């Protein structure tokens, strides 16, 4: 069975370093936060050089059309998983979850950021 590309919206970047730390094609780490006191389906976004940098959107007001919310994404990823920034439009960041094949390719590349985050 072929994996479907899963896109999601990142927000809450102003709680951390702002949008300036994100670049198109940056590798991001997704970390589930089941003990988050505001959202039991919270997924934290981390960058190699900046650490925690945002959250996957989980509100109809902040999820870009055609992307997954944290609630929809939560059961489709591992407790720690990875994605890649695809678009930055104003204050919106759209990223894609890495497929199993893409993840294996990243892990086998000694120069990949995945070996550091």
Q: Could you tell me the residue range of the domain that residue 29 belongs to?
A: 7-115
Residue 1's pLDDT is what?
38
Residue 79 is predicted with a pLDDT of 96
| CATH number assigned to the domain comprising residue 102 | 3.30.70.2330
The two three-digit tokens of residue 88, written as one number: 């930055």
Q: Is residue 90 part of a domain?
A: yes
How many structural domains comprise the chain? 1
Identify the CA nearest to 90 among candidates 64, 116, 71.
Answer: 64
Query: pLDDT digit string (tens) for 78-108?
Result: 999 999 999 998 888 999 999 999 999 988 8
Asked if the structure places residue 1 within a domain, the reply is no
Q: Which pLDDT belongs to residue 114? A: 81
Query: What's residue 78's pLDDT?
Result: 94
Residue 69 lies in a domain: yes
Residue 19 in domain:
yes
- 0.85 exceeded by pTM: yes
Q: Within a domain: residue 82?
A: yes
Within-domain flag for 2 = no
Percent of the chain with pLDDT over 90: 75
Strands (E), the chain: 7-11, 27-33, 42-47, 51-56, 80-89, 92-97
Low-confidence residues in the chain, pLDDT < 50: 1-2
Q: What is the DSSP string of 35-56?
A: T-SS-TTEEEEEETTTEEEEEE
Rounded Cα–Cα distance for residues 51 and 105 (Å): 23
d(CA 70, CA 87): 18
């Amino acid at each position: 069975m072929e994996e479907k590309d899963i896109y999601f919206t990142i927000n809450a970047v102003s709680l951390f370093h702002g949008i300036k730390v994100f670049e198109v094609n940056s590798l991001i780490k997704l970390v589930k936060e089941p003990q988050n006191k505001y959202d039991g389906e919270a997924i934290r976004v981390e960058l190699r050089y900046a650490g925690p940098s945002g959250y996957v959107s989980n509100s109809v007001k902040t999820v870009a059309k055609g992307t997954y919310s944290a609630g929809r994404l939560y059961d489709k990823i591992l407790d720690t998983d990875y994605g890649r920034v695809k678009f930055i439009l104003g204050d919106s960041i759209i990223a894609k979850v890495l497929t199993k094949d893409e993840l294996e390719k990243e892990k086998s590349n000694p120069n990949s950021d995945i070996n550091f985050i």
